């Protein structure tokens, strides 16, 4: 494997005539040298909806910087190589460059298996930042805008009957030069390192893949669990022209044992009973398996497999205040702020093992929740959260720019898409619409819209209502969220919303040998070392458990999981190689926030270890 990775680096390290590189930022992770260039991120990319046959298009593609006026390079080789799906600014892409034009071409050839004939061929992109124009064999099949959502095209009419097919993708990514959802990306990182903003992530950054489907197929589905009524409600949307004779069959399994089966109509919600359900929680993340079929009498036309978890997230009145409840029991939700950045792949973890490791270790440190901060992850990240058992507060990526009306339409479209593409994951329990004052607008309108779109979850209108602007509390949504770093604090408790501290901590120090930018500027490195940082961490937890919990606090988010570029406030260094705080002491402190109900003194029923 090491030889494969070195070959990738040697072949793909290209230095363009135009653009700016930053080769000094070459911090590696334990998984950097485990990439197989012949099978990059080769795991099935959509575990929630699985079909047996698929084809991975990750790997070596031709690549070239371009300008807006350049012609499409049909049947023309591009001068450089890139490792897909790593952003062109990343080490692992082999490019590690930023372009003044913000544009580039991708090109590769592919063939379709003979046993796919007679079916439709779908071309899937996990995510491309930001605008992707896709061509097959000289014809444009579509244009997609949005850097965080998956999209697909039926490319069947564009394919050659025999031989190879040419796939070309043109990418335009203005990053923070436009009022788009870009999160913490900042183009000035290359020439002027910032404190709280990070390297851009341009181009293809999630898996590209092909999938054969029947002419009539399952497009998507939506599952809503109801633990009180012991059932799920499911809505199945088809692709293609269905007939009156066709029905949807849904079967639920507990392991290999079939426990429930029903049939229903397309595009209409119907119910499936789940008798005596095993409830999903961080301590018992049980998942039921699922099979969904389109049937015409006894003939199976299309079939997918997936899974679901029986869990309920809600508010519960306790001693006059609203509290966060999981499965009808108060549970203090406590986790790290997770930016989802990697020093070698930026937005993209080098391997699926690395993606899984982050979640496993988050649980090992005693957390029961993760706030996914201003980034949307690949589906496999949420799969591991479902499988391993951790709650997720999911942020919508934001902007600092002032939006036009057109920008607002684009933002709200991406917000809805984020929710719809991830709402089957039991781990996600809270949608966060805005972070602090970043691009905030129409909070009183958008928050209720999100609540209506997904009434099965909680919604935070804006996280960090007190972040220098006390008028930011619009008093909408399920959660009142303040940010208070050192020390944490408890704001005025609401009797209508649960109260949380959505960001606190930032206890950091500089760990020599594990620094991304040797020249700084560094932030949150104001402690002497591991012992001082750990003691401060314990002090803050004691404040939460002995004072704030009884006062009405329902959750807290510690900043942060790892160092990120110039931020030195992680539990791990950015390369994930060094624990910066004492893990066992932190774990003990973390568990103390949620293992025992601080209101009653009793173990948390149904959700503790």
Mean per-residue pLDDT pooled into runs of 10, the chain (609 residues): 40 38 72 94 98 97 95 96 98 94 97 94 98 98 98 97 95 95 84 76 98 97 98 97 94 97 96 97 97 94 98 92 94 97 97 98 98 98 98 95 95 98 98 93 96 98 73 85 91 88 94 88 90 97 92 95 95 98 97 74 51
Omega before 87 cis (within 30°)? no
Helix 405-422 to helix 443-453 angle, to the nearest 10 degrees? 30
* Helix residue ranges per DSSP H, 319-404: 352-364, 379-388
The answer to whether 483 touches 472, Cβ cutoff 8 Å, is no
**What is the reported pLDDT for 504?**
95
Give all strands (DSSP E) within 440-483, no chain letters.
Answer: 458-463, 479-483
| Extended strands (E) in 280-366 | 288-296, 299-308, 313-318, 321-326, 329-330, 333-338
CA distances 366 to 359, 585, 609, Å, are: 11, 10, 10
Helix intervals (H) in 164-280: none
Give every CB contact of residue 150 below 8 A, 6+ residues apart in sequence.
46, 124, 125, 126, 127, 206, 379, 421
Beta carbons of 204 and 84 less than 8 angstroms apart: yes
* pLDDT at site 601: 56
Which H or E run contains 488? none
Cis ω for the linkage preceding 130 (within 30 of 0): yes
Distance (Å, whole) CA 476 – CA 462: 9
Q: Are 589 and 538 in contact (CB under 8 A)?
A: yes
Please choose, from the candidates 573, 538, 529, the residue with its C-alpha nearest in 3D space to the C-alpha of residue 361: 573
pLDDT given at position 495: 84
pLDDT at 20: 41
- pLDDT value of position 10: 38
What's the whole-model pTM score? 0.94
């Amino acid at each position: 494997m090491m030889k494969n990775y070195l070959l990738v680096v040697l072949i793909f390290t290209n230095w363009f005539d135009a653009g700016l590189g930053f080769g000094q930022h070459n911090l590696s992770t334990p998984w950097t040298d485990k990439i197989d260039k012949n099978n990059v991120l080769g795991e099935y990319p959509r575990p929630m909806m699985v079909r047996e046959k698929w084809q991975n298009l990750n790997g070596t593609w031709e690549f070239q910087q371009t300008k807006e006026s350049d012609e499409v390079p049909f049947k023309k080789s591009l001068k450089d190589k890139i490792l897909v799906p790593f952003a062109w600014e990343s080490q692992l892409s082999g490019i590690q460059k930023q372009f003044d034009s913000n544009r580039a071409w991708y090109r590769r050839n592919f063939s379709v298996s003979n046993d796919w004939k007679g079916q439709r061929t779908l071309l899937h992109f996990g995510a491309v930042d930001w605008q992707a124009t896709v061509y097959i064999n000289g014809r444009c099949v579509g244009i997609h805008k949005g850097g965080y959502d998956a999209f697909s095209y039926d490319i069947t009419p564009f394919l050659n009957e025999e031989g190879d097919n040419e796939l070309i993708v043109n990418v335009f990514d203005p990053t923070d030069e436009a009022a788009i959802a870009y999160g913490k990306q900042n183009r000035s990182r290359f020439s002027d390192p910032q404190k709280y903003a990070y390297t851009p992530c341009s181009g293809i950054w999630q898996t590209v893949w092909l999938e054969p489907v029947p002419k009539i197929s399952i497009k998507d589905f939506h599952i809503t669990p109801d633990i009180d009524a012991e059932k799920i409600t499911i809505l199945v949307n088809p692709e293609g022209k269905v007939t009156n004779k066709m029905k949807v069959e849904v079967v639920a399994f507990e392991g290999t044992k079939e426990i429930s089966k029903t049939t229903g109509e397309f595009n209409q919600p119907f119910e499936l009973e789940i008798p005596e359900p095993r409830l999903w929680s961080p301590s018992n993340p049980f998942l039921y398996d699922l099979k969904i079929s389109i049937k015409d009498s006894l003939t199976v036309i299309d079939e997918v497999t997936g899974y679901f978890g029986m869990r309920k997230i809600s508010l519960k009145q306790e001693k006059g205040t609203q509290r966060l409840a999981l499965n009808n029991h108060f549970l203090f939700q406590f986790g790290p702020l997770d930016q989802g950045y990697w020093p070698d792949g930026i937005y993209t973890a080098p391997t699926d093992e690395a993606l899984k490791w982050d979640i496993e270790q988050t649980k090992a440190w005693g957390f029961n929740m993760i706030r996914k901060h201003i980034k949307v992850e690949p589906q496999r990240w949420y799969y591991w959260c479902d499988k391993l058992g951790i709650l997720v507060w999911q942020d919508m990526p934001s902007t600092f720019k002032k939006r036009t009306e057109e920008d607002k339409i684009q933002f709200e479209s991406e917000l809805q898409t984020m929710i719809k593409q991830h709402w089957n994951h039991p781990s996600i329990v809270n949608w966060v619409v805005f972070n602090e004052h970043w691009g905030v607008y129409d909070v009183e309108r958008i928050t209720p819209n999100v609540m209506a779109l997904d009434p099965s979850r909680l919604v935070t209108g804006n996280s960090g209502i007190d972040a220098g602007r006390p008028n930011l509390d619009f008093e909408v949504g399920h959660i009142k969220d303040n940010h208070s770093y050192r020390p944490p604090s408890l704001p005025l408790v609401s009797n209508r919303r649960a109260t949380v501290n959505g960001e606190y901590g930032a206890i950091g120090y500089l760990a020599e040998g594990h620094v991304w930018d040797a020249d700084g500027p560094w932030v949150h490195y104001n402690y002497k070392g591991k012992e001082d940082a750990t003691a401060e961490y314990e002090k803050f937890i004691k404040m939460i458990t002995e004072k704030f919990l009884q006062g009405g606090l329902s959750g807290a988010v510690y900043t942060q999981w790892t160092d990120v570029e110039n931020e030195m406030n992680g539990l791990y260094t950015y390369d994930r190689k060094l624990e910066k705080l004492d893990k066992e002491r932190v774990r003990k402190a973390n568990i103390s926030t949620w293992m025992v109900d601080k209101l009653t003194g009793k173990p948390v029923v149904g959700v503790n270890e």
